[in-house]
Amino acid sequence: MCEFKDPTRCLLCKKNLFVFEGKCLAVCPKGYKVNNPPTACRLLNLQDMGVIYFPFLTMAVIITLVCICGMFKKKAVWRQGRRVKVSEQNTVTAILAGIAPLQFMAVCMQWALCFVFKLFVAGVNSYFVMIFILCINLAFLITYCCKFHGRYLPKQKMQMVLVKELEMSEAKKRYMLNNDHEFGTWYPRHDCWSMCCNPFLTLCCSFKCNKMYYSHFYALDMFKARWTDVSFYRKMLMWFGIAHFLLVDCYLIGISVTGMLHQDWN
């Protein structure tokens, strides 16, 4: 069946053929599927993708339950002359650090879906959010490594090197000190976690993953880091948290509100 004013434009096709932009096709193009009843091609939508509803909320609930279970791993200690069992885990900290990567994963998914459904303005905004997250994570990681993973040569030994009383290679081998003594003596025992896994999560997901260092998660020693200059570490987390709220969280709230205002609820 064709349009009255334009006989070349189809309105209805024979069996096993489907209308697409005024033509009869045997197979719908990529990004389209046959409607019901099967007469034409239509755009794919979220229902066609077989999505899992609230996937990130589900993951957050699972992570929270795993962290709560860690509270039941207790250690026997003596308090006021009697033996009691206490949990060493900082459960709230563990939950915050555990669910931190979900926000970045959600933004990545939002960015991908925007381009799948050709929402280019929202997709560009999501892209900028991802850039802001990665920049904040990178700045945090550089600051943290310079402060807590760095080493230095004492002033007296440096003067000896300058007057040629001591070779630099020997000075570095024998007299180098850690910028932060307590953390410097702790992290070599957990170099895989502190030099590989945690920096990767911090950079690629969220700087909040760094909180796993002091979460005491399931009372494992790799999550019991200590710092000599702990006040600097707390201030660093606070200021980067403020930057994250202003550049990322507020941006995401703006995108969400704008999307709701332009949503056709009918």
Greater confidence, 260 or 198? 198
Q: How far apart, in Å, are the Cα atoms of 208 and each of 60, 91, 145, 199, 230?
A: 15, 15, 15, 11, 16
- Give counts: helices (H), strands (E), the chain: 10, 8
Cα separation of 227 and 211, whole Å?
Answer: 13
Residue 44 has pLDDT above 90, yes or no: no
Q: What local confidence, expressed as pLDDT, does residue 4 receive?
A: 46
Greater confidence, 211 or 264? 211
Lookup: tokens for 48: 């066609």
**For residue 152, which phi and psi values (nearest 5 degrees)?**
-145, 160
**pLDDT tens, residue by residue, 46-75:** 666 666 778 888 999 999 999 999 988 888
Cα separation of 74 and 16, whole Å?
Answer: 66
Mean pLDDT within 18-39: 81
Residue 143 has pLDDT above 90, yes or no: yes
**pLDDT tens, residue by residue, 227-252:** 999 999 999 999 999 999 999 988 88
Lookup: tokens for 61: 């609930």
What mean pLDDT, rounded, does the chain reach? 84
Cα separation of 90 and 95, whole Å?
Answer: 9
Nearest to 249 by CA among 133, 105, 114: 133
pTM, entire model: 0.74
Count of other CB atoms within 10 angstroms of residue 227: 19
Q: Judge contact between 16 and 26, C-beta under 8 A.
A: yes
Lookup: tokens for 30: 């990529």
Cα separation of 44 and 33, whole Å?
Answer: 6
The backbone region for 201, taken as left when phi is positive above 0, alpha when psi lies in -120 to 50, beta otherwise, is alpha
- Quick one: what percent of the chain has pLDDT higher than 70? 91
**pLDDT tens, residue by residue, 154-195:** 888 888 888 888 888 888 888 888 889 899 889 888 988 888
Q: What local confidence, expressed as pLDDT, does residue 139 receive?
A: 95
Residue 45 has pLDDT above 80, yes or no: no
Residue 2 has pLDDT above 70, yes or no: no
